[in-house]
Chains A and B, each alone.
Chain A
């Protein structure tokens, strides 16, 4: 007996209502398996998030201090908070450094490794290069931050020691100068991030029919034409995945900022997550910190939904095109 006939019978049973006896649907006995997961979800994500929304409607210094209900005042204050707007402007730089640049470079690198170097020099060369690009991805982000913090340190850092040995008398204070701090942080993030799209795109290219490339090559299409006409359209699903996950990560970024600059100097590298952390644990403005994190949550969800909708549209278009 197949499940289709079972379902058909179940449907027949409900529509004809010959027999009044209600059969329990076949999915009900599976519910107990969902119980541990749901309990954990409610306790660790559901209730805390609801509490965070509740906190954001209060003025509260945290701990045993009294909580005063102030409605949406925290959110109203955010609108006039210059630092809040700065932090979200800086999120745009984070998206450039963690999504736009790595995805573009990653596309080119993956296509070059797969469709050019892999063919001319063998797949082992391509695999080795891919591994070196991926290396920064496996180290804990705090470790990457500490390492780069030292490399870029004004006094004892490797870059400035090197510059001084070349005769530069007054090398820049990379992370300590508001003008250079953000570009330095962005550079570090590009370095950390680049291996991820390369690895995803290369594995995506492996499922592309090689005959497509061979046919295009026989037709005299050069690498750039193949890149535009085959590579990019073929790995569009993976591109969406990379863009979605990296954008969410860029909006959430905390560790690198904490370890590299703590949002400074003069707020030039302040990001929303770090600003909310500051309010929670440094300024003891729990309600305000909660409001910032809720706005961040909202922004992330909206951006994610926009990307997911764009993805399903492009999928539909492709299906209709075929």
Chain B
């Protein structure tokens, strides 16, 4: 059995070799992945470095130097010029109402489609899915004129109504497939207890899909917060604009020196970052809860 032991030895040797090689290789791979990470982070770092640097300091020492003294005029400039608290409230109001109303609308639609199994449900879902792909440009001009006709021009409510429907098109598509796998035994038990459809929806279905609903709500909030095109067109004056629109419309302004631009970008991305950090746990929990069920 000399052959086999030799084989085993050879295999072992090659294993050890391989491990040695990967031992060095793994640091190379890690370095590569870290380089990519650094490239992704550099713009954020440059933004942070220059948000608190005076314009003179910037033109003298360039974008990569450490600020010589902390300079808060950029933040202050941006804050007062855009009336930032107003913009923050506009964005918050629109996103929060859309998140709640859009989720509610998705749930009602999905209840009829997934649990009610209405006739032609495949068509309804397909139409909703296609609607999520429509370019907003194909809707904007009629929506703009319609808003004027019903007295909602330049009103946050026009944007709220539009996004509630647009987001719920996606929500319906997603929730309908979740609800179509809803255990029928639960529904029948509730029906035997004499519960009506409305009661079943809120007492049986709602508690079980709540994790999915909260994920949907967070997505709707962040997506609506980040929306640009429809708010840009529909909200025409300074006091109704949302945060992204306010930042973009200051572009090219003489007052927008490097620190003000960077401070503005920094302040505008903070809310999104904060929501993300707060909700990250809910998101992962919601996703796993959905998959386990």
Contacts and interface: CB of A to CB of B under 8 A. Distances in A.
Contacts of A251: 135
B70 interface: no
B115 A1 contact: no
A33 B111 contact: yes
A95 to B, nearest CB: 15
Contacts of B138: 48-49, 52, 290, 293-294, 296-297
- Secondary structure call for the A interface: helix
Given A132-B40, A258-B248, A117 B133 contact: no
Contacts, number: 254
B143 A296 contact: no
B34 A30 contact: no
A33 B108 contact: yes
Interface in A15-56: 25, 27-31, 33-34, 36-37, 40-41, 43-45, 47-49, 51-52, 55
B142 A37 contact: no
Interface residues of A, number: 86
Contacts of A258: 228-229, 232, 248
Tier of interface size on chain B:
35 or more
Given A45-B131, A191-B40, A162 B63 contact: yes
Interface in B28-43: 29-30, 32-34, 36-37, 39-41, 43
Interface string A76-112: 0000000000000000000000000000000001001
Contacts of B22: 120
A140 B197 contact: no
B213 to A, nearest CB: 15
Nearest to B23: A120
Contacts of A194: 40
B233 A121 contact: no
Contact of B133 (A33, A142, A165, A304): A304
B66 interface: no
A184 to B, nearest CB: 13
Interface stretch (A149-157, A208-216, A228-236, A314-322): A149-157
Contact of B226 (A30, A121, A141, A146): A141
B197 A30 contact: yes
B247 A162 contact: no
Given A149-B251, A158-B63, A40 B112 contact: no
Contacts of B46: 151, 158
Interface string A267-305: 000001100110011000010011011101100110010
Contact of A3 (B128, B166, B188, B222): B188
A147 B179 CA distance: 42
Interface string A104-146: 0000010011001100110001000100110110111111011
A280 B33 contact: no
A40 B59 CA distance: 53
Interface string B148-189: 000000000000011011101100100000000000100010
Contacts of A109: 33, 36
Nearest to A63: B145
B214 interface: no
A133 B40 CA distance: 6
B166 A45 contact: yes
24 contacts: A27-B117, A33-B116, A40-B105, A41-B165, A44-B165, A45-B166, A49-B142, A116-B29, A120-B22, A141-B226, A141-B228, A142-B248, A142-B268, A146-B247, A149-B251, A150-B262, A150-B265, A207-B291, A258-B228, A276-B137, A277-B229, A289-B141, A296-B135, A304-B133
Given A44-B165, A254-B136, A281-B233, 4 more contacts: A40-B161, A43-B165, A140-B225, A277-B140
Interface of A: 1-3, 25, 27-31, 33-34, 36-37, 40-41, 43-45, 47-49, 51-52, 55, 62, 109, 112-113, 116-117, 120-121, 125, 129, 132-133, 135-136, 138-143, 145-151, 156, 158, 161-162, 164-165, 191, 194-195, 203, 207, 248, 251-252, 254-255, 258-259, 272-273, 276-277, 280-281, 286, 289-290, 292-294, 296-297, 300-301, 304
